[in-house]
């Protein structure tokens, strides 16, 4: 529902302006049974604004999609903001004419329309709600839609194309999708993977400096890995991380005249902090050390969603202190420290508990 928020009403600015974001303008998300505007959900409004419910791969009425986006613009101009967008860090205030100049096209895509995986993470929504995913319906295919979007120039470079999932590397159309996007010279491709299955097409994307692979590790040793993932694959995953890291180019790659990709951060792993299970300094240091030894130069962290939701009204100082310790470890090993959206918002909203934190999105 759209409601009036005085703080988002830019119509009274000296130069009339309004709030929007790259996803309202140019975003499309493929979920299992629906299309959405964006995949962000770590803020108060919760994101995932619906574009079409009960979607299973049917041809898309593009005219309708772009009309919907214009409706957002018309309402946001009056300060009428969708509940799901409230407090989202991606909302940006720009002059009316700046937003209105934008053409109709899609450049931000998130592909997350399947749930099958070769891991069984204890925090995964599919593991926690098997009843919801136990009945088998055939996955729809995104490949013909992406092909159509490219042929009609609806999908354009300049944004980002990310994969969620499920495990992308076991998706039958995955290699074709990535190959197609690489052949069309897309950049800022990002793939989240369990790392259990090695993918040569991901290696190609890394080598070309146009694709980032984020392997979910969450652990610094095989025992903790098995406890969290419920599969015995730590050594396989670490070996695959090493192979992805070896494909990195050690230079900045010019993607456009104004945009560069740092080839050294194309292969990364992620550590989701699960309090009570992997939140020790030793575990984190072992994880970072193993990364650095295999050629990974990033330290990417997130916080387990269910724990966060249960504590978000009264977050203990200890979690902020632990994140600071990880930041210090990242400094010690000279890695690029990255926070996922939920953590970034948490630190930004609690400056008294994390005075060391400098927000990336103000």
Residue 108 CB, shortest distance to ligand SF4, in Å, is 9
- For position 165 contacting ligand SF4 by CB under 6 A, the verdict is yes
**Gap between the Cα atoms of 96 and 99, Å rounded:** 6
Q: Considering only residues 325-354, where is the footprint of ligand SF4 by CB under 6 A?
A: none
- CB atoms inside a 10 Å sphere around CB 263: 19
Query: Residue length, the chain?
Result: 362
Closest distance to ligand SF4 from the beta carbon of 122 (Å): 9
Is the omega angle on the peptide bond into residue 166 within 30 degrees of 0, that is, cis? yes
Q: Is 159 in the site for ligand SF4 (CB under 6 A)?
A: no
User: Do residues 127 and 178 lie in contact, with contact meaning Cβ atoms separated by under 8 Å?
Assistant: no
CB of 107 to ligand SF4, least distance (A): 14
237 binds ligand SF4 (CB under 6 A): no
Least distance from C-beta 24 to ligand SF4, angstroms? 5
Tell me whether residue 114 or residue 357 sits nearer to ligand SF4 (CB atom).
114
Q: If binding is defined by CB under 6 A, does position 108 make contact with ligand SF4?
A: no
- Report how far apart the first and last C-alpha atoms of the chain are (Å, whole number): 26
- 245-258 as b/e: b if 16+ CB within 10 A: bebbeeeeeebeee
- Should residue 29 be labelled a site residue for ligand SF4 when binding is judged by CB under 6 A? no
Binding flag, residue 23, ligand SF4 (CB under 6 A): yes
CA distance 134 to 194: 21
Smaller CB separation from ligand SF4, 167 or 208: 167
* Distance of alpha carbon 318 from alpha carbon 362, whole angstroms: 24
Per-residue x/- track, 267-306, ligand SF4 (CB under 6 A) = ----------------------------------------
Closer residue to ligand SF4 in complex, CB, 28/329:
28
Q: Is 60 in the site for ligand SF4 (CB under 6 A)?
A: no
**Closest CB to ligand SF4 among 81 and 329?**
81
Alpha carbon of 336 to those of 300, 331, 355, 356: distances in Å? 8, 8, 20, 16
Instruction: Decide if residue 361 touches ligand SF4 (CB under 6 A).
Output: no
DSSP secondary structure string for all residues of 187-254: --EEEEE-SSS--HHHHHHHHTT-EEEEEE---SSHHHHHHHHSSS-HHHHHHHHHHHHHT--SSEEE
Determine, following the binding rule CB under 6 A, whether residue 37 of this chain makes contact with ligand SF4: yes
With residues binned 3-state (H G I as helix, E B as strand, rest as coil), the percentages for the chain, rounded to 5, are 40, 20, 45
**Binding of residue 24 to ligand SF4 (CB under 6 A):** yes
Determine the Cα–Cα distance for residues 12 and 73; give it in Å rounded to an integer.
16
Between 218 and 291, CB nearer to ligand SF4: 218
- Which CB, 214 or 329, lies closer to ligand SF4? 214
Q: Does 25 bind ligand SF4 (CB under 6 A)?
A: no
**Helices of type H across the chain:** 22-26, 62-76, 96-100, 125-128, 130-134, 143-151, 174-183, 200-207, 222-229, 234-246, 281-293, 305-311, 317-332, 341-349
Q: Which region among 117-125, 203-211, 304-312, 354-362 touches ligand SF4 (by CB under 6 A)?
A: 117-125
Rama region for 57: left / alpha / beta (φ>0; ψ in -120 to 50; rest):
left
Tell whether residue 124 is a contact of ligand SF4 (CB under 6 A): yes
Contact window for ligand SF4 (CB under 6 A) among 160-168, 239-247, 297-305, 316-324: 160-168
**Residue 218 is a binding residue for ligand SF4 (CB under 6 A):** no
Footprint of ligand SF4 (CB under 6 A): 21, 23-24, 37-38, 40, 45, 47, 49, 84-85, 88, 90-91, 117, 119-121, 124, 126-127, 165-167, 194, 216
């Amino acid at each position: 529902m759209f409601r009036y928020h005085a703080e988002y009403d830019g119509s009274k600015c000296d130069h009339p302006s309004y709030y929007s974001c790259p996803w309202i303008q140019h975003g499309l998300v493929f979920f299992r049974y629906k299309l959405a505007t964006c995949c962000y959900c770590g803020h108060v409004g919760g994101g995932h604004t619906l574009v079409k419910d009960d979607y299973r791969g049917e041809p898309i009425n593009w005219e309708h999609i772009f009309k919907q986006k214009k409706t957002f613009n018309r309402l946001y101009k009056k300060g009428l903001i969708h509940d799901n967008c409230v407090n989202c860090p991606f909302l940006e205030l720009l002059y009316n004419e700046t937003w209105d100049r934008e053409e109709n096209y899609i450049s931000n895509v998130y592909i997350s329309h399947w749930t099958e995986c070769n891991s069984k993470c204890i925090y995964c929504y599919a593991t926690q709600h098997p009843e919801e995913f136990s009945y088998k319906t055939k996955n729809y295919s995104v490949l013909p839609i992406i092909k159509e979007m490219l042929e009609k120039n609806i999908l354009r470079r300049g944004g980002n194309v990310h994969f969620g999932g499920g495990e992308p590397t076991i998706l039958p159309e995955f290699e074709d999708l990535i190959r197609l996007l690489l052949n069309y010279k897309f950049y800022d491709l990002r793939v989240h993977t369990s790392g259990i299955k090695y993918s040569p097409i991901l290696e190609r994307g890394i080598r070309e400096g146009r694709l980032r692979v984020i392997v979910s590790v969450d652990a610094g040793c095989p025992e903790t890995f098995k406890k969290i993932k419920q599969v015995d694959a730590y050594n396989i995953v670490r070996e695959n991380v090493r192979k992805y890291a070896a494909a990195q180019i050690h230079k900045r790659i010019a993607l456009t005249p104004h945009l560069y990709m740092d080839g050294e951060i194309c292969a990364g792993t992620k550590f989701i902090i699960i309090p009570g299970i992997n939140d020790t300094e030793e575990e984190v240091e072992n994880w970072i050390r193993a990364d650095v030894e295999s050629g990974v130069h990033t330290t990417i962290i997130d916080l387990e969603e269910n724990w966060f939701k249960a504590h978000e009204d009264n977050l203990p100082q200890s979690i902020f202190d632990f994140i600071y310790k990880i930041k210090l470890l990242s400094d010690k090993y000279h890695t690029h420290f990255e926070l996922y959206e939920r953590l970034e918002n948490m630190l930004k909203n609690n400056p008294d508990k994390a005075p060391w934190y400098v927000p990336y999105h103000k």
